[in-house]
Amino acid sequence: MNQPPNKPSVRFVEIGEDRAGQRLDNFLLAELGRPPKSVVYKMIRKGEVRINKGRCKPENKLSVGDVVRIPPFNVPEQYAPAAIGNRLLDALRDSIVYDCAEFMVINKPSGLAVHGGSGLSFGLIEALRQIFPDNKQMELVHRLDRDTSGCIVVAKKRSALREFHRMLREGEMDKRYWALVEGRWPNRKKVVNAPLKKNELRSGERVVRVTPDGKESLTEFAVLRRFSDCTLIEAKPITGRTHQIRVHAQHAGHPLIGDDKYGTDDVNQLFKGRGIARLFLHAESLSFPWKKGRVSVQAPLESRLFDAMESL
């Protein structure tokens, strides 16, 4: 006789130090496999979710020792995670450049968004959650543009996420990028200090412009290597604005090679023929204090891009 499938049951989860301070709705999203927020809010509104046997609200902050009642729940099929190919999952496993109990650093490939949405069924974080299904607290510490490759930090614990956000606010994380730009970047151009503002075109496309009423934005630049008609530079963003390096390089008169938003179409087409068919922006290294020491991580440039650069 066939056994009936196991039905989900009520769970009671006691909150430890690592989850203290987290909002109830964010806690439930992670625990329930990240269904739409509306599903979580409905559970809370109906009183199916309780904290210490009492009714609660989505914005309630959890404390050590709290016991959260979680009702029976299966992720509906339409909200189930997108199937991600084994080839990408294997590639991401091989892209881990630093790993410890609190966080990992991934060498993100170009072309992969950091998270799903806006027509994308999945991104880096969804893929990592599929690789490591038992790590329900996994969260992105910061972001990279979809076409940018290189170092990105993923926290495994909420305590680590809080510490990284503190470091980012206080400027303790040193991030260095490699970028190939048009023309001869002058040695004297070591800083671009130009305010940036996000705008949206009629098409819905988001662009960033240098404008007096924008947010203060500062990037430090250094020349790494010169070629006949382009320059490999190192960029260190002091602030963290959207598209900051790309727009500051354009503002300096040297757009990034392969940048279809802020670059030059003719130049991009020329370099595509030379083997550079993507945005040449790579988060090459990260350095930050951790516990009683310092963590420094480098992410190698993908071989195709490196070989194309060497052939210049």
Q: How many CB atoms lie within 10 A of CB 217?
A: 24
Distances in Å between the Cα of 306 and the Cα atoms of 75, 241, 274, 311 are 43, 27, 12, 9
Phi, psi of 139 (to 5 degrees): -145, 150
Catalytic residue among 145, 213, 265, 307: 145
Per the CB < 8 A criterion, the answer to whether 245 and 258 are in contact is: no
Active-site residue flag, 265: no
The catalytic residues are 145
